[in-house]
């Protein structure tokens, strides 16, 4: 059986999945991240394909790996010195079986069609797990906003939306933020959408709390991640209280995770940026958590500022996974935790790794962590809280009424507990108990595949 695809050999590929993956590799062999995401899912659904031979006849996998639509466009804009800049923008409308396309926009120099396809593919499963009415999509541009002025970011966002607006809408496709796209960018994008269409409508989520946004949306991904980690630890009779936690990144997801983990009595001892990581043995808490927002707003994209401000250690060019911790929460970017990192975490006593970013752990690192009995959750399950509260924002916009913070938090908590339960149940039903990767993939895949079957050949 084919196991040459870099995913966990514990899960053997069904011949149908192996064939579709080989065909995909032949067709888009340069799309490494996309192939990695597909291989991870395909390696875990063997038993599902065996029990449901009709999926092959209906060519569900071939359809699933082909985005419904890819929109690619030029983003020309003028910088503050009057020079013309040209970037590339995309929106990958991946799958609409469960609802309008839904997923973030990423503005980052690493953005390519391959990375957006991997993110859109992941989003298909993630959104299915939330149980809300959301299909999947992802978009963005190959521009890092680091060092740009507010005026430049606004002009760029307006140019981006000038192309995107004709493809989105509350019942069509509802983008939100992701790396490089926060509240300010969503504000500029929304303002320009409104100006171009003449409609005030919920075509974007992550809007400001005073003009149509959901309370707790900024916190939602990080809070949801910590709720999920608590659920995982509870299966072993533990909780986050008293635990030492390593967090990577210092953006939106990391911020929410630090806040909630600290609330629950954990000590978060690391943060990281492209420049290295900081080690704060007393814990990132109080005004230090607020300082994370200031660091992000500065647009400098470096975490060394934290070390200088609070007089803690800074480790240039290194990752936080060398610090002894009980729990690791990778919250930065894809492929930021390697096999070497995983070995160091385990050697230092780490027993739980929950992904806050999308696909931050490399396939061989996942395999190692699982072999070592570490609780490991894939981002598509544990970081689904962000898009879940986006889904709640869509509902609130439709109703023209807004939920209180307590209400949103309660719903978020319930959704994360349900996702956790669905993963555990699916893994148990398919003979891989405790495997959250397989559980998440199986639970989400069957939902999407069955909806696609019901809707005929589209
Ligand atoms: N970018 C986030 C994610 O990766 C949120 C997407 C959304 O809210 O639509 O799930």
In a 10 Å sphere around its CB, with 0-12 CB exposed, 13-18 middle and 19+ buried, how is residue 181 labelled? buried
Q: Ligand 1: which atom is nearest the Cα of residue 217?
A: 8
**CATH 3.40.50.1220 given to domain 219-373:** no
Q: Where are the domains of the chain?
A: 1-65+435-458, 69-200, 219-373
Query: What does each of the 458 residues of the chain score in pLDDT, given as a tens digit?
Result: 333 444 455 578 999 999 999 999 999 999 999 999 999 999 999 999 999 999 999 999 999 999 999 999 999 999 999 999 999 999 999 999 999 999 999 999 999 999 999 999 999 999 999 999 999 999 999 999 989 999 999 999 999 999 999 999 999 999 999 999 999 999 999 999 999 999 999 999 999 999 999 999 999 999 999 999 999 999 999 999 999 999 999 999 999 999 999 999 999 999 999 999 999 999 999 999 999 999 999 988 999 999 999 999 999 999 999 999 999 999 999 999 999 999 999 999 999 999 999 999 999 999 999 999 999 999 999 999 999 999 999 999 999 999 999 999 999 999 999 999 999 999 999 999 999 999 999 999 999 999 999 999 99
Residues in contact with ligand 1 by the CB-under-6-Å rule are: 102-104, 126, 176, 178, 205, 358, 386-387, 390
CA separation for the pair 371, 365 (Å, rounded): 10
The answer to whether 451 and 97 have CB atoms below 8 angstroms apart is: yes
Q: Can you tell me which atom of ligand 1 is nearest the CA of 383? A: 10
Q: How far is the CA of 387 from the centre of ligand 1 (A)?
A: 5
The residue to mutate among 381, 386, 391, 394, having the most atoms of ligand 1 within 8 angstroms of its beta carbon, is 386
- 69-200 and 219-373 share one fold: yes
Instruction: Provide the 10 A C-beta neighbour count for residue 389.
Output: 33
Closest Cα partner for 456 from 144, 58, 151? 58
State whether CATH 1.10.10.10 applies to domain 1-65+435-458: no
Atom of ligand 1 nearest to the CA of 384: 10
Best probe residue, ligand 1, of 95, 119, 135, 177 (max atoms within 8 Å of C-beta): 177
Cite the active site residues. Answer: 138
From the candidate CATH numbers 3.40.50.10860, 3.20.20.80, 3.40.225.10, 3.40.50.1860, the one assigned to the domain spanning 69-200: 3.40.50.10860
């Amino acid at each position: 059986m084919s196991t040459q695809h870099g995913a966990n050999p514990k899960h053997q590929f069904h011949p149908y999945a192996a064939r579709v993956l080989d065909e995909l590799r032949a067709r888009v062999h340069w799309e490494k991240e996309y192939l990695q995401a597909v291989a991870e899912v395909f390696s875990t659904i063997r038993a599902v394909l065996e029990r449901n031979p009709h999926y092959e006849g209906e060519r569900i996998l071939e359809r699933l790996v082909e985005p419904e639509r890819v929109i690619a466009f030029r983003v020309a804009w003028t910088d503050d010195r009057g020079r013309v800049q040209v970037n590339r923008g995309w929106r990958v409308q991946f799958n609409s079986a469960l609802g309008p396309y839904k997923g973030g926009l990423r503005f980052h120099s690493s953005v390519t069609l391959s990375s957006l396809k991997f993110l859109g593919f992941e989003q298909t499963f993630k959104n299915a797990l939330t149980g809300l009415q959301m299909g999947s999509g992802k978009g963005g541009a190959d521009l890092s906003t680091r060092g740009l002025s507010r005026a430049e970011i606004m002009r760029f966002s307006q140019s981006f939306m000038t192309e995107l607006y004709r493809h989105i809408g509350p019942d069509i496709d509802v983008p939100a933020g992701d790396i490089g796209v926060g509240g300010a960018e969503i504000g500029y994008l929304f303002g320009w959408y409104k100006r171009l269409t003449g409609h005030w409508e919920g075509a974007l989520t992550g809007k400001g709390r005073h003009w149509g946004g959901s309370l707790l949306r900024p916190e939602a991904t990080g809070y949801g991640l910590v709720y999920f980690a608590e659920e995982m630890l509870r299966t072993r009779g533990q909780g986050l209280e008293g635990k030492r936690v390593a967090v990577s990144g210092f953006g939106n997801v990391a911020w929410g995770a630090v806040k909630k983990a600290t609330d629950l009595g954990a000590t978060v001892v690391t943060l990281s940026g492209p420049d290295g990581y900081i080690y704060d043995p007393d814990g990132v808490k109080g005004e230090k958590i607020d300082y994370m927002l200031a660091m992000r707003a500065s647009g400098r994209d470096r975490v060394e500022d934290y070390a200088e401000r609070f007089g803690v250690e800074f480790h240039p060019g290194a990752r936080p996974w060398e610090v002894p911790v009980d729990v690791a929460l990778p919250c930065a970017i894809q492929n930021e935790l390697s096999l070497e990192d995983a070995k160091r975490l385990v050697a230092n006593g780490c027993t739980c790794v929950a992904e806050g970013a999308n696909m931050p752990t490399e396939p061989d690192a996942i395999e190692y962590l699982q072999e070592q009995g570490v609780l490991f959750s894939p981002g598509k399950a544990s970081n689904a809280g962000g898009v879940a509260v986006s889904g709640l924002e869509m509902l609130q916009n439709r109703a023209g009424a807004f939920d209180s913070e307590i209400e949103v938090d309660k719903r978020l908590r319930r959704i994360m507990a349900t996702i956790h339960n669905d993963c555990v149940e699916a893994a148990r039903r398919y003979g891989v108990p405790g495997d959250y990767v397989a559980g998440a993939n199986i639970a989400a895949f069957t939902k999407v595949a069955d909806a696609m079957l019901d809707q005929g050949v589209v």
